[in-house]
Amino acid sequence: MSLDGKKLGFIGTGKMGSALIKGICDAGIFSPSEVYASDLYEPSLEELKQDVGVNVSTDNKVTVTSSDVIVLAVKPQILKKVISTIKEDVTGDKLIISIAAGVKLEDIEKEFNAGTRVVRVMPNIAATVAEAASAITQGTNASKEDAEDALQIFGSVGSAIQVPENLMDAVTGLSGSGPAYIFPVIEALADGAVHEGLDRNSAMVLAAQTVIGAAKMVLETGMHPGELKDMVTSPAGTTIRGIRALEENGIRAAFMQAVIESSNRSKELGK
């Protein structure tokens, strides 16, 4: 279905839900008047109403009946309970998008009435600054157009790709949780510079911009990260000394294990 003239609903306005709402409205893919949000926590609703101007309610049914696309932005542990309160209002013309980590499409679909169109998405918190990395996978009853709509919605706040569902736990471990791995890296880089005499603010700006620049080089050149590393690693120079220190402290193994452990936790949440 085309998104033109459609209304978007969010059930759950925690950190991720609010970040997506703000990012999507800032991107202009939906106007605030076309977005409905519901949550039991009224302060978050009031903040969204004041800051963004979306329609808010403490009644999930209002969001469902007012919207054509409904994003379930709630914790995996309460997803089934939330679905049970709205399933009778989810008619065949509505598209359901779940961003609950670890919960499989099959388990979501069986909680709704037969034929409900469901798409599963794993975004990340960088939607706040329109730099999210999201992956989507479509359910049994969802159409190619439904998947394209999800890609358009989540692509408006960063990059979005489509993957088979059996890879969604890996996506959760990588990009879903990934920003939390990089924030300590930025802090640690800045700490190193502060140790060497740079003031804290300057160190933080340079560290964060260094991460942005390195990421853009990977995405925009298409070159392997190893090739890019070699471009700036002169024989007996400063960079190779730093690379040696990282390797001696197990940087690759640490990041690999972080993704693997997060992926495993995603699998546990889906059981």
Q: Is the pLDDT of residue 175 over 90?
A: yes
CB 137 within 8 A of CB 162: yes
213-229 tens-digit pLDDT: 999 999 999 999 999 99
Task: Output the pTM of the full model.
Answer: 0.89
CA atoms within 13 A on the CB side of 108: 30
Residues 20 and 129 placed together within one structural domain of the fold: yes
Q: Is residue 95 part of a domain?
A: yes
Residues 163 and 190 reside in one and the same domain:
no
E strand or H helix at 178: helix 178-195
Domain boundary among 134, 168, 202: 168
Residue 193 inside a domain? The answer is yes
**What is the rounded average pLDDT of the residues 101-112?**
94
Q: Please indicate, yes or no, whether residues 12 and 125 belong to a single structural domain of this protein.
A: yes
Q: Look at residue 1 and tell me whether its pLDDT is greater than 90.
A: no
In angstroms, the CA 89 to CA 63 distance is 10
DSSP string covering 189-223: HHHHHHHTT--HHHHHHHHHHHHHHHHHHHHHH--
Q: How many Å from the N-terminal Cα to the C-terminal Cα in the chain? A: 32
Given 147, 168, 189, the domain boundary residue is 168
Number of separate domains in the chain: 2
For residue 6, give the 3-state DSSP assignment. Answer: coil
Neighbours of 115 (CB within 10 A): 10
Tell me if 96 is assigned to some domain.
yes
DSSP state of 141: S
The side-by-side arrangement of strands in the sheet containing 69-72 is: 55-57, 35-38, 8-11, 69-72, 95-98, 117-122, 132-138, 158-162
Together in a domain, 190 and 126: no
Please, which pLDDT band fits residue 146 given cuts at 50, 70 and 90? very high
Residues of the domain holding 15: 8-168
Going by C-beta distance under 8 Å and a sequence separation of 6 or more, which residues neighbour residue 251? none
CA neighbor of 175 nearest in space, from 219, 119, 235, 223 = 219
Q: In this model, does residue 151 exceed pLDDT 70?
A: yes
User: Which position has the higher pLDDT, 179 or 270?
Assistant: 179
In CATH, what number is assigned to the domain containing residue 262? 1.10.3730.10
Q: Are 102 and 172 in contact (CB under 8 A)?
A: yes
Structure tokens at 125: 């918190």
The Cα 108–Cα 79 span in angstroms is: 8
pLDDT at 259 over 50: yes
Decide which of 144, 168, 192 is a domain's last residue: 168
pLDDT grade for 79, boundaries at 50, 70 and 90: very high
CATH number at residue 152: 3.40.50.720
Residue 250 contacts by C-beta under 8 Å, 6 or more apart in sequence? none
149 and 192 assigned to the same domain: no
Which tokens in the block code for residue 175?
Answer: 């990009």
Residue 3 forms part of a structural domain? no
Mean pLDDT of 21-50: 93
| DSSP strand pairing (55-57 vs 69-72) | unpaired
